[in-house]
Amino acid sequence: MLLTHATLARMTGGYGLIPDAAVVLDGDRILWAGPMSDLPRDHRGEAFDCGGRLVTPGLIDCHTHAVHAGHRAAEFELRLNGASYAEVAQAGGGILSTVRATRAASGADLLASALPRIDQMIASGATTIEVKSGYGLTVEDELKMLRAARQIGAERPVTIRTTHLAAHAIPPEYQGKANAYIAEVAIPSLRAAQAEGLVDAVDAFCETIAFSLADLQPLFAEARALGLPVKLHAEQLTDQSGAAFAAGHGALSADHLEYLSSGGIAAMAAAGTVAVILPGAFYTLRETQAPPIAALRAAGVPMAVATDLNPGSSPLASLTMAMNMACTLFRMTPEEALLGTTAHAARALGLADRGRIAPGLRADLCLWDADHPAELSYRIGATPLHARIFGGRLDR
Ligand code: DI6
Ligand code: FE
């Protein structure tokens, strides 16, 4: 396939803009990208004329909880009547109400309820989506979630990366016994998931209302023993030094980071850990402390942007909306926001074969009804996707 007359944002370094560009695809790979005037003669075959439209790498949502049962509109209403996120969680609501619904659902139910959300994400330009477990909290229910997540990739034209997040919340039967939960559920479910080929990375929620670093130490040691990369929900509501702990384990990413300290930033910079910025949760929870974007930028920490799609703190399925929020709420630049859903999101997932437009990388591309990449962040809630190419195939 040959794309002609594209406004190409290669996302190499910065935008990597080429105004009147061509892209040559060979099967599911990019063979060549450059100015129309340099297009090699032997590639002048049948062409798809982009008509000057913006072409970017396919977007990558590197942090979602897209598989879950039910919704939490009632909790949304409670919070609007004055309850805090922590109060809702302590009253047995919050994550645990989704756990009850997810335990009661079959694998087929979970898949069926996830697909419409996945379709919305695809419609906003996603070609790779990470999906976490973490609402089962028993060995069998965590495996059920991961199997449903894997199945999405067989049902839709999208790459699914699965993350084991059994250390998301402490279930009622283990209240006050976090270390027993890690030993009896989190670690055994991780071993079983790895044996079944269901897991690409290991995540946990480090927070006063969830797990401490001491609780997580044996889980991260097990991840290392299994050869799996780690990530961490860190510093979302309080500073627990989670980001530095994650960086010390060579984490792919530390995510949320509203309360990240300068020590955490230095540790992430030294380890090459990506900062995953999740403005949907900040917005939904009406948080007031923004993550330290300027300090992350100054330290050279790569920043990704994701939806955090989940039924409690971020019922958001649009990556372009997340980019808009990252710019307006957190003062990221539109160029940083787009790097955050392409090149840096790929890095947060440990994927070297996508997120930029360059020879040899996967042919995952978005064609937009836009003529400058800043438009993707600038419009509020728009979905200017014109067409999407997944693995070399045009699918809309
Ligand atoms: N932090 C969050 O914002 C989500 N999980 C997490 O660790 C919330 C998930 C939920 O409320 O269902
Ligand atoms: Fe999350």
Whether residue 173 is found in the same domain as residue 82: yes
Whether residue 125 is found in the same domain as residue 89: yes
**CATH number of the domain enclosing 309:** 3.20.20.140
> Considering every ligand atom, which ligand is closest to the CA of 312?
1
Whether residue 53 is found in the same domain as residue 63: no
Rounded to the nearest 10 degrees, what angle do helices 139-155 and 187-195 cross at? 40
In sequence order, which ranges of 37-186 are alpha helices (DSSP H)? 73-80, 85-90, 95-104, 107-123, 139-155, 178-181
Count of residues making up the chain: 396
**CATH number of the domain enclosing 372:** 2.30.40.10
**Torsion angle, alpha carbons of 2, 383, 353, 256, to 10:** 170
> Which structural domain range is residue 95 located in?
59-348
Q: Are 187 and 142 in contact (CB under 8 A)?
A: no
pLDDT given at position 87: 81
Per-residue confidence in pLDDT tens, the chain, 396 aa: 999 999 999 999 899 999 999 999 999 999 999 999 999 877 766 789 999 999 999 999 999 999 999 999 888 888 889 988 788 877 767 888 999 999 999 999 999 999 999 999 999 999 999 999 999 999 999 999 999 999 999 999 999 999 999 999 999 999 999 999 999 999 999 999 999 999 999 999 999 999 999 999 999 999 999 999 999 999 999 999 999 999 999 999 999 999 999 999 999 999 999 999 999 999 998 999 999 999 999 999 999 999 999 999 999 999 999 999 999 999 999 999 999 999 999 999 999 999 999 999 999 999 999 999 999 999 998 889 999 999 999 986
Closest Cα partner for 145 from 180, 184, 98, 181? 98
The pTM of the whole model exceeds 0.85? yes
Tokens standing for residue 351: 């994927």
Whether residue 155 is found in the same domain as residue 94: yes
Residue nearest to atom 7 of ligand 1 (CA): 205
Residue labelled with tokens 């996302």: 11
Give whole-number Cα distances, 317 to 122, 213, 277, in Å: 9, 30, 15
CA of 3 to the centre of ligand 1 (A): 40
Asked which of 331, 348, 365 is the last residue of a domain, the reply is 348
Whether residue 344 is found in the same domain as residue 315: yes
Q: Are 354 and 362 in contact (CB under 8 A)?
A: yes
**Torsion angle, alpha carbons of 190, 193, 195, 198, to 10:** -130
Q: Are 1 and 364 in contact (CB under 8 A)?
A: no
Whether residue 189 is found in the same domain as residue 45: no
CA of 66 to the centre of ligand 2 (A): 10
Whether residue 68 is found in the same domain as residue 168: yes
Q: Are 84 and 41 in contact (CB under 8 A)?
A: no
CA of 233 to the centre of ligand 2 (A): 7
Neighbours of 236 (CB within 10 A): 28
User: What is the H or E stretch that residue 390 is in?
Assistant: strand 385-390
Asked which of 348, 367, 383 is the last residue of a domain, the reply is 348
Pocket of ligand 1 (CB under 6 A): 94-95, 98, 168, 205, 233, 236, 281, 308, 310-313
Whether residue 341 is found in the same domain as residue 382: no
Task: Please tell me the total count of domains within the chain.
Answer: 2
Residue nearest to atom 2 of ligand 1 (CA): 313
CA of 313 to the centre of ligand 1 (A): 6
> Which atom of ligand 1 approaches the CA of 314 most closely?
3
Whether residue 181 is found in the same domain as residue 246: yes
For 244-301, what is the HEC assignment?
Answer: HHHHHCCCCEEEECCCCCHHHHHHHHHHCCEEEECHHHHHHCCCCCCCCHHHHHHHCC
Whether residue 270 is found in the same domain as residue 361: no
Whether residue 141 is found in the same domain as residue 152: yes
> In testing the pocket of ligand 1, which one of 164, 308, 314 has its CB within 8 Å of the most ligand atoms?
308
pLDDT given at position 40: 83
Whether residue 182 is found in the same domain as residue 105: yes
pLDDT given at position 45: 64
CA of 370 to the centre of ligand 2 (A): 30
Tokens standing for residue 346: 């790929």
